[in-house]
Amino acid sequence: MSLENPHTLPLHGGDLIAAEARYGIPRAQWLDLSTGMNPRPYPVSGLPDDAFQQLPYLLPELVGAATQYYGQSDGIPLSGSQACIEVLPQLLPDLPVLVPEIGYQEHRQHWLRAGRMVVDYPSQDHQAMLTCIDQALAQNPHQHLLVINPNNPSGLCIAPEKLQQWARQSRGYLIIDEAFMDVMPDGSVLGNYVEPNMVVLRSFGKFFGLAGIRMGFAFAEASILAAIDEKLSLWRVNGPAQHIAIQALKDIEWQQTALQRIQADHDATLTLVSEAMALLVDARLTTDTPLFFGYTMNKTSALKVHECLAQCGVLVRFVELPDGEGMLRFGLMCGDDTDGQKKLASALKTTVSTINGA
């Protein structure tokens, strides 16, 4: 593989199957820092037999638990927020859509597949982003606006008051992807800042560390929810996933403990990585959120670091940026995982030695 071609890298984080095939390292031996998920998943236990045996009609207990957790009642569960990302462009009015230049690319791809005009706005500099969106909506309010909040991977976050202002200004829809918002709940529009033309997406798997059960939620006005519901498949959320989500969404004690542990895991991981990145000439910390952080450098260096770490069994996320730069996004490891710490420290030491000695 050429290190100059990022398109040969996995499209998404967590693809240990592709990593195993490419590097010959068994999946169980990888330290996966490529996903941005809580490394301490919610403990799953005590699922009833009927969760597996009965057809998965929507449980009212799930609706109630989600309403209490998110502070918003007008929502529907999904088999991951990805499901809504894929169908939403087909359901909203045919208007141009403003999308972040850097961000979760599934949004852009599905708006383009729906034949919509996609207009970029900068998403690495906070003030540039605010200015660009303000000007765009002032010049033409008949546009949809997509905001990934916080942005993945740049980490930029827009205050809910500002999002509400944009929603009131726009004659289109404001789609807000809050996939990583559980760890900073005061930044959510849900509860106090929702407008009729907002569509808010929430991911269950990031904070609860259970991406494999495919659970998410969409919040919007009734007509949009009905259109989403009609577009998606019958029995779209399986029984075990519903029961697990009910337990997790209601477990306030676990949630409070998880927030504290995530911060500790973040600090431990960042400390290890920052010591190594300081030894690379052009690496600089440009993203820092509770569940992931990112170092930006020139693209060639970023690809080399990514490759060196992978050869040592550590998987991180490479993101191509404008102007010949690249970002390495690091998720978290458990701060008390001694073996993981040793593996990461060794991989970073080997990588720095290889890059600086090249």
114-126: per-residue pLDDT in tens? 999 999 999 999 9
Q: Which residues of the chain have pLDDT under 50?
A: 1-7
The tokens for 269 are 């991981």
Give 115's contacts (C-beta < 8 A, 6+ positions apart): none
Q: 324 near 303, Cβ under 8 Å?
A: no
| Collapsed DSSP state (helix, strand, coil) of residue 76 | strand
Residue 284 sits at φ, ψ, to 5 deg, of -140, 140
Segments making up each domain of the chain, as ranges: 6-41+254-357, 50-250
Cβ-based neighbour number of residue 45 at 10 Å: 7
Q: In what order do the strands lie in the sheet with 293-298?
A: 284-288, 293-298, 325-330, 317-320
Give 194's contacts (C-beta < 8 A, 6+ positions apart): 72, 200, 219
Q: 210 near 244, Cβ under 8 Å?
A: yes
User: Got the DSSP string for 314-356?
Assistant: EE-EEEE-STTEEEEEE----TT-HHHHHHHHHHHHHHHHHHH
CATH of 50-250 given 3.40.50.720, 2.40.160.20, 3.40.640.10, 3.40.50.1100? 3.40.640.10
* pLDDT score, position 1: 33
Alpha helix ranges (H) inside 71-120: 82-91, 105-113
pTM for the full model?
Answer: 0.94
Cβ-based neighbour number of residue 170 at 10 Å: 23
Tell me which fold the domain 6-41+254-357 belongs to.
Aspartate Aminotransferase, domain 1 (3.90.1150)
Q: Give CA separation, 1 vs 74, 307, 325, in Å.
A: 48, 10, 19
Between CA 124 and CA 132 the distance in angstroms is 12
Residue type, 89: P
Q: 180 near 289, Cβ under 8 Å?
A: yes
First-to-final CA distance of the chain: 18
